[in-house]
Structure 1
Amino acid sequence: MTITLRHETPQDIATIESVTTSAFLNAEHTDHNEHLIVNALRDAGALTLSLVALDDQHLGEQHIVGHASISPVTISGGESGWYGLAPVSVLPDFQGKGIGSALVKQILVELKSTGAAGCVVLGDPAFYSRLGFVADDSLVLPGVPAEYFQTLAFKGQIPIGTVEFHAAFSVTS
């Protein structure tokens, strides 16, 4: 399997929605609105980075099998330049093959190159710790267990405060 990563295009939007819906269909701890979040971020102009993963060996055509997005977060202490990684989606048949890791690594490289201060993620500590994220009680996301909310500082120290994701994360329909 050969995977290619690239930025989303307008022609990818419907497929990204389908991939995201499928990826979270049987996931625990979800409201199953991840596809709505991506669309709401895009509509609000808050989708800072959006990458897709393409499987190059499917009947000679490229098909989107994964997606990752980055959007700005607000920190109560007023620090700027921090972003949230979410959602990260890989079609169930392609999970466990390194596609999610490749998407996250690439999107973080691109985010860091923009001069961002850091990134936060809400997710599986076993997965995200392999990619450099650490649980740090300096930054808090209310209502979630601390070990599942992780940070990655690109420069400086991890700020102290409460994190708020973009309003698009509250979308329900």
Structure 2
Amino acid sequence: MQFRRWEDFDTRSVERLFTEVFAASEGASEGRVVGALALQLMREVSAEDLAGFVAVEDEDVIGSLFFSRMRFATPVEAFLLSPVAIATAWHGEGVGQALIRHGLDALRHQGVQLVCTYGDPRFYGRVGFRAADADAIPAPFALTQPEGWLCQWLQGATPLSLSGPSHCVAPFDNPDYW
């Protein structure tokens, strides 16, 4: 298995992966929504604001994830991890955790300081994410499940809090995702 950065030629495979994985777990409608979100990230977000990674086995994309820029009033190099999809046949094999670690290492080497995500604390806790106080590290929108707001500092000293609201890239600028 190979982990590498997402490339333009992966677009169709990545969109299909997100659509199929989320349709299988959450229903066809959710599959279409998350597949469209992944496509929007790939097509509309600038390279400086997006880092995508794939897991490839025998030339097939079996996993993918994206990190997109977040902005705070406090100067900090920050990204949001979302969405993440691993082909259903590979669930439970550690592919997701390994792919996330690979992406976090790449961001760490780029000087990214903070990565946040909004998801299951039991899963993301395995790769170093911890519950975040939304007052200290504000989410872009009010959270329907505040326990799912998770962050990880990748560099040096961690500030106690970040001032002001946060902002995400346009595809996530939708309160329905939060």
Name the TM tier (shorter chain): 0.7 to 0.9
Conserved? CA contact 2:76–2:114, under 8 Å? no
The CA RMSD measured in Å over matched residues stands at 2.3
Percent same amino acid among aligned pairs?
A: 23
Residue 31 of structure 1: CA displacement? Answer: 4.6
Relative to structure 1, the CA distance from residue 97 to residue 162 in structure 2 (aligned partners, 3 Å threshold; closer, same or farther) is farther
Residue 170 of structure 1: CA displacement? Answer: 4.4
Q: Does 1:94 align with 2:97?
A: no
TM-score (norm 1): 0.84
Which structure dedicates a bigger proportion of its chain to helix?
A: 2
Q: Counterpart of 1:67?
A: 64
| Inter-partner Cα distance in structure 2 for 1:86 and 1:132 | 15
Q: Which amino acid aligns with 1:35?
A: G
Task: Write out per-residue CA displacement over residues 117-144 of structure 1, whole angstroms, 9 at most, x where no aligned residue.
Answer: 1100111100101111001202232223
3-state secondary structure, aligned to 1:87: strand
1:132 pairs with one of 128, 138, 143: 128
Greater mean deviation of Cα atoms: 155-164 or 19-28: 155-164
| Inter-partner Cα distance in structure 2 for 1:133 and 1:83 | 13
Please, which runs of 5 or more residues in structure 1 have no aligned partner? 57-61
Residues 1-173 of structure 1: pairs in structure 2 closer than 5 A: 3-28=1-26, 31-32=30-31, 33-44=33-44, 45=46, 48-56=50-58, 62-75=59-72, 77-137=73-133, 138-141=136-139, 142-155=142-155, 156-158=157-159, 159-160=161-162, 161-170=164-173
Q: Which amino acid aligns with 1:118?
A: L
Greater mean deviation of Cα atoms: 8-17 or 162-171: 162-171
Please, which runs of 5 or more residues in structure 2 have no aligned partner? none
Task: Write out per-residue CA displacement over residues 148-171 of structure 1, whole angstroms, 9 at most, x where no aligned residue.
Answer: 010001233253354332111247
Task: Write out per-residue CA displacement over residues 57-86 of structure 1, whole angstroms, 9 at most, x where no aligned residue.
Answer: xxxxx21111011110122x3333100011
3-state secondary structure, aligned to 2:69: strand
Task: Write out per-residue CA displacement over residues 1-47 of structure 1, whole angstroms, 9 at most, x where no aligned residue.
Answer: xx21112222211010000111211445x954222222222223155
Which structure dedicates a bigger proportion of its chain to strand?
A: 1
Conserved? CA contact 2:81–2:115, under 8 Å? yes
Conserved? CA contact 2:11–2:42, under 8 Å? no
Conserved? CA contact 1:140–1:149, under 8 Å? no
3-state secondary structure, aligned to 2:99: helix
| Inter-partner Cα distance in structure 2 for 1:5 and 1:170 | 29
Residue 52 of structure 1: CA displacement? Answer: 0.9
| Inter-partner Cα distance in structure 1 for 2:78 and 2:154 | 9
Residue 92 of structure 1: CA displacement? Answer: 1.2
Aligned residues: 164
